[in-house]
Structure 1
Amino acid sequence: MKGCSFLRNGAKFQGKQKGVSSSTLEVHVTILHVNLAKSMLCGFIHVSYTSPNNTSLTTYFEAEIIGNRFTFETKWPEWGASEEIDNRHWKRLGALKSNGKDIPLRLIQPYDPLSRETVYMRWKELAMLDKTVDYQNHNQSFPFGISYEGFYYISFSQSTGKIKGYYYHHSEPEKVLFLELNPIIDRTFPVIEFQ
């Protein structure tokens, strides 16, 4: 499926992040730049929680697009993922099936990600933009108990623009956070005035 209209510079998505026992958070994502040649993209994730003080948090993230350059195996040891963890999360997103059978991660050959209906990615938040963060202070409390030290396993539907994902953090491997986003479709047209 070429000509991926939802996966483009400036694309916006909105939805929710839900945990098993935690509150539901409102999430907005803006894609700043898509570089298909390098199988990467970047953008902002804005999370808000409706509370008496309307707490929110914005982070900058970069993404690896699974396919030609990046595999389903997480290559960053500091992210704390293993083959077992990768398998569990990709299976939840339907990534490791072929003809109804599970495929081991290491056997999946490189492929053109845009040739398939579903594009898989890893999103890693790299910086908090709302306030100064002491990166050395691991006991720092974040708004409404969230962290941006982990990463997301993402599936993206090229035909609908829907995004589904699971957040993983090695210090809380049993904490399951599910992300579900829909594209924001701008139906307005630019106004041009001639003088």
Structure 2
Amino acid sequence: MFESSYLRNGAQFHGIQKSDGNKTFDVSVTVLHVNTEQSMLCGFFKISGLSGNNSSLTTYFEAEIIGDKYGFLTRWPEWGASESTDYKHWKRLGAFQYAKRKVPLRRIKPYDPWKKGTIYMRWKELAMLDKVNDFQFRSRNSSSDVSFEGFYYIAFSQRTGRISGYYYHYKFDHFQYLELDPVLNRTFPVLEFL
């Protein structure tokens, strides 16, 4: 069994998101809460280097952890992902690298994700923060030049803490790649000798 010290309450990750034309954006993620029993987690996602009125954007997201509760097949029709879309994204993230042929996603049996070296997730941004300190949220229906209607397919390595992912929105044909590494807390405990 793998036990990751990286995927925990308060964990932080930093890296980049690349889009078409090799535009690169700075990304920071903070995990607020991991609920292993419900196979979910939540946190804040901050992306910087955007054009327009918002040079940076912080959103609140929730994640479904693929395994015994959530399958590889996206259950939310309003997200616009088909079984073919799901398969393409999960395959790019290495989910089916040992499969000899294409496996229907609905036939994959539930499993304990915590016993695997890679944990797969779906991250869905649900609200945009107006003021981080006041936790005032704007829903995605409010007026903004930035959209977060899509969601992320995520692969998390329990060994290294690295997060790889792809943003998907049904209006886009291209893949937007996400790559994050854990931010290691370099503080040491204080010892007092008597």
Report TM bin, short chain: 0.7 to 0.9
Q: After alignment, is 115-124 or 100-109 more displaced?
A: 100-109
Q: Distance in 2 between matches of 1:89 and 1:34?
A: 24
Residue 27 of structure 1, CA deviation: 0.1
SS in 1 for 2:10: coil
* 8 Å Cα contact 2:13-2:182 kept in structure 1: yes
What is the root-mean-square deviation in Å for CA atoms of aligned residues?
2.3
Residue 189 of structure 1, CA deviation: 2.4
The 3 A distance-change label for structure 1 pair 49 and 94 is same
SS in 2 for 1:7: coil
Partner of 2:180: 181
Partner of 1:86: 86
* 8 Å Cα contact 1:39-1:69 kept in structure 2: yes
Q: Structure 1 length normalisation: TM-score? A: 0.87
Q: Which runs of 5+ in 1 are unaligned?
A: none
Q: Structure 2 length normalisation: TM-score? A: 0.87
Q: Distance in 2 between matches of 1:5 and 1:22?
A: 32
| 1:8 pairs with 2:8 | yes
The 3 A distance-change label for structure 1 pair 134 and 28 is closer
| 1:57 pairs with 2:61 | no
| 1:24 pairs with 2:28 | no
Residue 137 of structure 1, CA deviation: 5.6
Q: Report % sequence identity.
A: 58
5 Å-filtered alignment, 1:88-167, equals 88-130=88-130, 133=138, 135-136=140-141, 140-142=144-146, 147-167=147-167
Q: Which runs of 5+ in 2 are unaligned?
A: 132-136
Partner of 2:134: none
The 3 A distance-change label for structure 1 pair 61 and 135 is closer
SS in 1 for 2:74: coil
The 3 A distance-change label for structure 1 pair 191 and 15 is same
Q: Distance in 2 between matches of 1:104 and 1:134?
A: 35
The 3 A distance-change label for structure 1 pair 34 and 134 is closer
Q: Distance in 2 between matches of 1:134 and 1:123?
A: 17
